[in-house]
C-alpha cells in the first residue's frame, strides 16, 4: 500500500509541474484578435492621450463585442463598426491617427513573467501621430482585457480540472 501511495504522489507531482508550465506559457489562444494602441511619443501628454483613446475605444469595443460568440462573429462586428471606432477616436483626440484591422506586427513583449513572441497577429492597431511611443495592447477576442476594464463584468477565474483534483486530494 505504501508503494502505491509513493507512486501516486510522484505522478501527481509530475502532473502539477506539467500543468504549471503549460498555464504560464499559453495565455493567449491561437484564435484571438488583439488590440494595440501606439502613442505618438513617450512624452507624458502623449501617453495620457493614448490611455484616453484606450479607455474610450475599449468601452466602445466592449459594447460591440459583448454578444460575440465566435471569432468569426467578432471579426464581422469589428469590420462593420470601423466607422464607429473612427468617430470614437476623433472625439478623443485632434491628432492624426491610423487604424488598421487585419494582420499586423506585434513586437516581443514580456508581461507578468510571460514572454509573448513578436510576429504578425490578427489585430486592431491604432497608431497615434508618429506612433513612436510605447504601446498598450491586449486581447479583444476572447475578451481577456475587456473583462478587466469594464466594471459591470464579473471577475473570471480560469481553472484546470486535473490541478483542482490534485489540490483537493493532496
Number of domains in the chain: 2
pLDDT computed for residue 78 by the predictor = 96
For 20-48, the pLDDT digits (tens) are 544 444 467 778 899 999 999 999 999 99
> Looking at per-residue confidence, does 14 or 75 come out higher?
75
Same domain, 39 and 67: yes
Backbone angles phi, psi at 136, to 5 degrees: -110, 140
Position 12 confidence tier, pLDDT thresholds 50, 70, 90: low
For 8, the domain range is: 2-24+159-169
Q: Is residue 154 part of a domain?
A: no
Average pLDDT on 127-134 reads 95
The pLDDT of residue 132 is 96
Residue 25: the pLDDT is 46
Mean pLDDT of 141-145: 77
Residue 63 lies in a domain: yes
Is the domain of 63 the same as that of 118?
A: yes
Secondary structure element (H or E) that encloses residue 68, with its range? none
Instruction: Let me know whether 117 and 39 are in one domain.
Output: yes
Whether 78 and 14 share a structural domain: no
- pLDDT value for 30: 77
**Residue 56 predicted with pLDDT over 60:** yes
**DSSP string across 106-157:** E--EEETTEEE--EEEEEEEEEETT--S-EEEEEEES-HHHHHH-TTSPP--
Please check whether residues 130 and 165 belong to one and the same domain.
no
User: What pLDDT score does 16 carry?
Assistant: 61
pLDDT at residue number 150 = 41
At 43, give phi and psi (nearest 5°). Answer: -60, 145
Q: Is the C-alpha dihedral spanning 80, 83, 87, 88 positive or negative? A: positive
Of 142 and 61, which is predicted with more confidence?
61
One DSSP character per residue, 83-99 reads: HHHHHHHHHH--S-EEE
Q: Is residue 107 part of a domain?
A: yes
User: What H or E segment, with its residue span, contains residue 4?
Assistant: helix 2-25
What pLDDT shows up at residue 154?
39
pLDDT above 50 (res 146): yes
pLDDT digits (tens, 9 = 90+) for 148-159: 444 443 333 444
∠ CA 125-127-131, rounded to 5°: 135
The string of pLDDT tens digits covering residues 77-129 is: 999 999 999 999 999 999 999 999 999 998 888 767 777 888 999 999 999 99
Amino acid at each position: 500500500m505504501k508503494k502505491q501511495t509513493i507512486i501516486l504522489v510522484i505522478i501527481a507531482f509530475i502532473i502539477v509541474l506539467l500543468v504549471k508550465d503549460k498555464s504560464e506559457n499559453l495565455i493567449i489562444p491561437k484564435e484571438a484578435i488583439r488590440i494595440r494602441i501606439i502613442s505618438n511619443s513617450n512624452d507624458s501628454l502623449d501617453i495620457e492621450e493614448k490611455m484616453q483613446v484606450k479607455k474610450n475605444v475599449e468601452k466602445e469595443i466592449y459594447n460591440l463585442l459583448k454578444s460575440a460568440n465566435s471569432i468569426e462573429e467578432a471579426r464581422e462586428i469589428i469590420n462593420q463598426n470601423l466607422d464607429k471606432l473612427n468617430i470614437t477616436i476623433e472625439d478623443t483626440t485632434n491628432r492624426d491617427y491610423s487604424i488598421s484591422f487585419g494582420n499586423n506586427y506585434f513586437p516581443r513583449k514580456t508581461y507578468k513573467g510571460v514572454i509573448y513572441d513578436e510576429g504578425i497577429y490578427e489585430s486592431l492597431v491604432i497608431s497615434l501621430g508618429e506612433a513612436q511611443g510605447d504601446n498598450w495592447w491586449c486581447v479583444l477576442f476572447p475578451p481577456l482585457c475587456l473583462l478587466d476594464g469594464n466594471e459591470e463584468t464579473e471577475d473570471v477565474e480560469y481553472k484546470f480540472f486535473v490541478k483542482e483534483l490534485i489540490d483537493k486530494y493532496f
